[in-house]
Amino acid sequence: MNACDKTYTVKHLTDRISAFIERLALALFAMLPLSGEAQPTGLLIDRVVGVVGREAILHSDLMGRMEQATQGGRPATQTMICGELEDLLYEKLLVEQGRLDSVVVEQGQVDLELDRRIRYFSQQLGGDEKLEAFYGKSVTEIKDDFRPQVHDQLLVQTMQQKVSGDSRLTPRDVQRFFDRIPEDSIPFINAEVEYAQLVSIPKPSEEEVRRVRRRIEEYREQVVAGTKDFCTVAILYSEDPGSAKECGDLGMVPAGVMVPEFDAVAMSLKENEVSQVFETQYGWHFMQLVERRGEQYHARHVLMRPQVSSSDLQRSRDLLDSLATAIRSARITFAQAAAEHSDDEESRSTNGVMIEPNSNSARWDMASLDQQTFFVLDKLDKGAISDPQLVVMPDGSKAYRLLQLLLLTEPHRANLKDDYRLLQQAAEGELRKKAIDDWVKDRLQATYVRVSPDHAGCQFLHQWVPLATKE
């Protein structure tokens, strides 16, 4: 094994196992467009490429994973296909064992996870309307179609944690792990940064807020009086792109999914009752309760948002200009300014420090940053702050932000001082891998497995094929 191969082994431990669930989450939604496509008549629609216990793996499942794996122009190889198939075999083994062990996944968990996924992909595509247009289905239909898969994924997560056990290690364990890596195989770390941000999201003027409030009050009164139909008002005037064309219908949702103000109004209404106009962070609403079942409710609503003007946007820039002057003159620190003035709730709670979601640390690989952030930070010295930068928020709105460069590391070989968290993750990954290997080996002795002949030549990490009953 050459140095490159050994470096990959360490990376494999931190990437392949820890990223399994995240890749599965993306794969489920990557397959969404396929479900609505018509299949040519006379052709084989699908076939089984593997079976684990009572769980079947379809060719379309495997191709959905491959579609996700090859995004960005990465070429498909037989090794990649075999790797994706083994992930599916392992997933089905976890699901099969979870069912045998009567592991329970609550429906509320499934609903919350579906809503989290929908929000994420809606943000990536620019809103619910674009999400629905991209997949050719309403949000409600997307949720209904993929509820069983998300249930199984949560079951996989539960079983994954059960199989892996407690993989936390002491600093001495991490030191021993690092000492075992040959010197020429210590992984190479790209340039990394730590940075903070302060965001100012422009707020509409009081006059604009009053205008929108009066308008939505008029629509509510017309609905209550019966001079206008709720559905018509929602389609024509609601600014919630996900529900407007569905007559404002949100479907059945569990309490806790929507913002607290929305839940509170829904849970206070009687069936078919129309609420008063109320405000949330998204704007002004009124709602009609269709049905309530325990802690779940089915409602429809109309949303209207006060609009931000160019002068509102300029006020945000002016605020950041004044804060930047105060920071540079040491009248206030960046951390204090972010904690007191930033409109980004997530980074405000960390005094503006940005947390990398995969590692849950403040370190960011420079190559992973978006283009705008990269070029701004690349021009800053350590501790320096940028001028106000115009940014587009996930919901498509505009805002201004300041950036501060906290730390910049040069490309280097991993070491315990600078890269302890990475090495700890690799060491814990090795421990999890051993637990998984032992568990899979044990369960395969008592589980029916079948792999189709066209994949029987795969060089799997586990002995699926020798123990399988081939077709």
User: 197 and 180, same structural domain?
Assistant: no
Q: What is the DSSP letter of 302?
A: E
Q: Which residues pair with 249 in a beta bridge?
A: 300
Average pLDDT rounded to a whole number, residues 175-203: 91
Asked, for residue 339, whether it belongs to a domain, the answer is: yes
Average pLDDT rounded to a whole number, residues 425-434: 86
Asked, for residue 464, whether it belongs to a domain, the answer is: no
pLDDT (0 to 100) of residue 45:
60
The C-alpha atoms of residue 274 and residue 264 are separated, in whole angstroms, by: 14
User: 121 and 140, same structural domain?
Assistant: yes
Asked, for residue 467, whether it belongs to a domain, the answer is: no
Q: Of 2-11, 279-288, 324-333, 367-376, which gets the smallest average pLDDT? A: 2-11
Q: Is the pLDDT of residue 262 over 50?
A: yes
Average pLDDT rounded to a whole number, residues 193-202: 96
Reported as a single tens digit per residue, the pLDDT across 222-245 is: 999 999 999 999 999 999 988 899
Task: Specify the 3-state DSSP secondary structure of 406.
Answer: strand
Contact of 233 with 288, CB cutoff 8 Å: no
Query: Please, what is the Cα angle at 62 between 59 and 65, to 5 degrees?
Result: 150
User: 116 and 20, same structural domain?
Assistant: yes
**Amino acid at the residue 295:** E
Asked, for residue 462, whether it belongs to a domain, the answer is: no
pLDDT band at 17; cut points 50, 70, 90? very low
Residue 314, domain extent: 191-203+309-410
Q: Of 287-291, 332-336, 421-425, which gets the smallest average pLDDT? A: 421-425
pLDDT (0 to 100) of residue 70:
85
Contact of 275 with 287, CB cutoff 8 Å: yes
Q: Is the pLDDT of residue 36 over 70?
A: no
User: 300 and 260, same structural domain?
Assistant: yes
The C-alpha atoms of residue 355 and residue 352 are separated, in whole angstroms, by: 9
The C-alpha atoms of residue 446 and residue 449 are separated, in whole angstroms, by: 9
Reported as a single tens digit per residue, the pLDDT across 302-360 is: 999 999 999 999 999 999 999 999 999 999 999 999 999 999 988 999 999 999 988 88
pLDDT band at 470; cut points 50, 70, 90? very low
Query: Would you list the DSSP string of 175-206?
Result: HHHHHHS-GGGSPEE--EEEEEEEEE-----H
Decide which of 137 and 363 is more confident: 363
Q: Is the pLDDT of residue 157 over 60?
A: yes
109 contacts: CB under 8 Å, gap ≥ 6: 154
User: 199 and 180, same structural domain?
Assistant: no
Other beta carbons less than 10 A from residue 135's beta carbon: 19
User: 376 and 261, same structural domain?
Assistant: no
Strands of 219-266 (E only): list them: 249-254
Q: Is the pLDDT of residue 279 over 90?
A: yes
Reported as a single tens digit per residue, the pLDDT across 73-112 is: 788 899 999 999 999 999 999 999 999 988 888 888 898 8
Q: What is the CATH number of the domain that holds 210?
A: 3.10.50.40
Q: How much is the mean pLDDT over the chain?
A: 85
pLDDT band at 466; cut points 50, 70, 90? low
User: 297 and 160, same structural domain?
Assistant: no
pLDDT (0 to 100) of residue 429:
85
User: 136 and 152, same structural domain?
Assistant: yes
What is the count of structural domains for the chain?
3
Asked, for residue 460, whether it belongs to a domain, the answer is: no
Q: Is the pLDDT of residue 396 over 80?
A: no
pLDDT (0 to 100) of residue 128:
74
Reported as a single tens digit per residue, the pLDDT across 129-146 is: 777 888 888 888 888 888
Asked, for residue 471, whether it belongs to a domain, the answer is: no
Asked, for residue 445, whether it belongs to a domain, the answer is: yes
Task: Specify the 3-state DSSP secondary structure of 284.
Answer: strand
User: 113 and 249, same structural domain?
Assistant: no
